[in-house]
Amino acid sequence: MAFFQRPILAISEEHHISFTWIDNPSITNLSRIRHEFQHLLSLLQHKYDLIVKKDNEERIRDFVRLRCENYNDDKGHMISSFLDQQKNMIILDRIIVTEDGEDNLITDPEAIQTETNCHFQTCAGSINEEKIIPPNWQQPNQESMIQFMKI
């Protein structure tokens, strides 16, 4: 028995593929041997393609299911998933606040939250507050909405 005969016959048997092993290769039966191997290869390739396609469809179905679940339960995670981004967070357990030229260490979570919000609301030089919307912005007319939608 040739060195490759046993594994090749085992593969063809495992996948239920008809394969005829020719024990005495010669010039006269070379095309038959080549045809047998090409047939085996094409059927194995087709089976492989089907397995890959099935796996991809299952993975797509799982990702769609996960996105639908995120749509219902965790919209922020869904948006991160669409954008292919990971949500990064920094957890502050202490901050230093300078008041009247003196540094104070704050470790109370509520005080940290308040000071952090205050910092980000005032760091650009203004305070976040209710704004009065000009009248020409309050009731957009039909034509301006159509122009906006064309953009």
- Whether the Cβ atoms of residue 44 and residue 18 lie closer than 8 Å to each other: no
Ranges assigned E (strand) in 7-125:
95-99, 102-106
- From CA 103, how far away is CA 119, in angstroms rounded? 15
- Global pTM? 0.44
Q: In the numeric block, which tokens belong to residue 93?
A: 């357990």
Report residue 124 as tokens: 């650009």
Domain boundaries, the chain: 5-82, 90-129
* Sheet strands (E) in 50-107: 95-99, 102-106
In one letter, which amino acid is 96?
Answer: I
Digitized pLDDT (tens) for each residue of the chain, 151 residues in all: 567 888 888 888 888 888 888 888 888 888 888 888 898 889 889 999 999 999 999 999 998 888 788 777 877 777 777 777 776 778 889 999 988 989 999 999 999 999 988 888 887 776 667 778 777 776 665 566 666 666 5
Given a contact cutoff of 8 angstroms between Cβ atoms, the answer to whether 20 and 36 are in contact is yes
